Amino acid sequence: MIRRPPRSTPLYSSAASDVYKRQVCNQNSGCWVNSVWTTTINQAMEALYCLILVLPLLFTVGSSFEPSNDFQCDPNLPHFSVGDVNLTKENYDAFKADNKVFILGLSDSECAKCCYIEPLLNRLQTLLAENYTYRGRRIPIARVDIKTARGSFSEDLPPVTFYPHILMYKHGKYYIYMSHFHYPGVMHFFSRVLYPTLQLNTTQQVYDFLDIDKEGVDWSGFYGYGERYIKVGRKNMPKRLTRAVAFISSKEDYEDEVKQIKAATQANPNREDLRVAFVLNIDAIKEIKAAHKTGDAEKGEKFDLL
């Protein structure tokens, strides 16, 4: 099921995006963006995959975050004063080999005002040192001065048009944070990069996840089960929210579809308005299907829905 606020007027769609939607969605049995109720898991997975790829063309990337008062140059935190390591041509490859996940603060020493990123990175470093890890390992913060990186290893970095920038490196790929510098927003970006899809284990978690009228807790490995969750605040959340839940009774039967959805969500960590979750708990699946009169729950049908 897809839950989002009613839309009174159609969203802008350019001719180019229409062509792209046809290229993406005119495969096999089609794509449904506005309303998804399918009778087979293959159609459901295909619809969600198309949804994730197409919606970035219809929504403007970013959110309604307001600039934070925190981000001013601190005389006690000069430029490049925060971080675990400054990367150079000599240590770059070795650092990447030892750290499959890290945060990169990219800046330019010739930029006098770029020191305003230091208080944010200092706050992130404190948070990451206390509670937030990835698979039991601390996430380090690395720094790169683009002035010294030019001509050495800068070709390995993603192109950016201004500085400073915050990026996350995960398993060989950089992900650029593209919203306003607001520490809850940055932390949630990290969560979306590290855990692009969520797993819901109870019926209550499913209904909480689908409640778009309040800020839902991100049930990711980064935040655990809510005890370390950092609130963004309802007024700072995107105006439109989309929550998608895939009920999977057998991961083995739908292995390809699960991989496809995970790949699509991994590619879009800046989609603040979209979160996708799986439900694998058979009892929760039966209970929700019975409540929505989908399939024959009493006969224990393994009839999956989106």
pLDDT digits (tens, 9 = 90+) for 231-263: 988 777 888 888 999 999 888 888 898 999 999
Beta strands in 196-289 (DSSP E): 197-200, 242-247, 274-279
Tokens for 117, please give them: 């990123």
Lowest mean pLDDT among 72-76, 149-153, 169-173: 149-153
**Predicted local confidence at residue 148, as pLDDT:** 82
User: What is the mean predicted confidence (pLDDT) over 184-210?
Assistant: 94
| Average pLDDT over the chain, rounded to an integer | 77
**Predicted local confidence at residue 137, as pLDDT:** 92
Q: How many CB atoms lie within 10 A of CB 82?
A: 21
Does residue 286 carry a pLDDT above 80? yes
**Predicted local confidence at residue 43, as pLDDT:** 53
**Predicted local confidence at residue 236, as pLDDT:** 79
Question: How confident is residue 149, by pLDDT bands cut at 50, 70 and 90?
Answer: confident
Lowest mean pLDDT among 39-43, 125-129, 182-186, 256-260: 39-43
The answer to whether the CB of 5 falls within 8 A of the CB of 240 is yes
**Predicted local confidence at residue 47, as pLDDT:** 52
**Predicted local confidence at residue 293, as pLDDT:** 74
In three-state secondary structure terms, 298 is helix
User: What amino acid is encoded at 203 in this protein?
Assistant: T
**Predicted local confidence at residue 62, as pLDDT:** 34
* 58-70: b (≥16 Cβ within 10 Å) or e: ebeeebebeeeee
Start-to-end C-alpha separation, the chain: 5
201, 243, 255, 245: which is closest to 224 by C-alpha?
201
User: What is the mean predicted confidence (pLDDT) over 90-116?
Assistant: 94
Instruction: Tell me the per-residue pLDDT of 22-45, one tens digit each, with 9 for 90 and over.
Output: 333 333 333 333 333 334 445 555
Rounded CA separation 11/4 (Å): 14
Supply the DSSP symbol for 168.
Answer: E
Residue position matching structure tokens 């909480």: 208
User: What is the mean predicted confidence (pLDDT) over 103-109?
Assistant: 95
**Predicted local confidence at residue 123, as pLDDT:** 95
**Predicted local confidence at residue 299, as pLDDT:** 52
295 vs 37, more confident? 295
- Above pLDDT 70, what percent of the chain? 73
**Predicted local confidence at residue 5, as pLDDT:** 42
Does residue 275 carry a pLDDT above 90? yes
User: What is the mean predicted confidence (pLDDT) over 271-280?
Assistant: 92
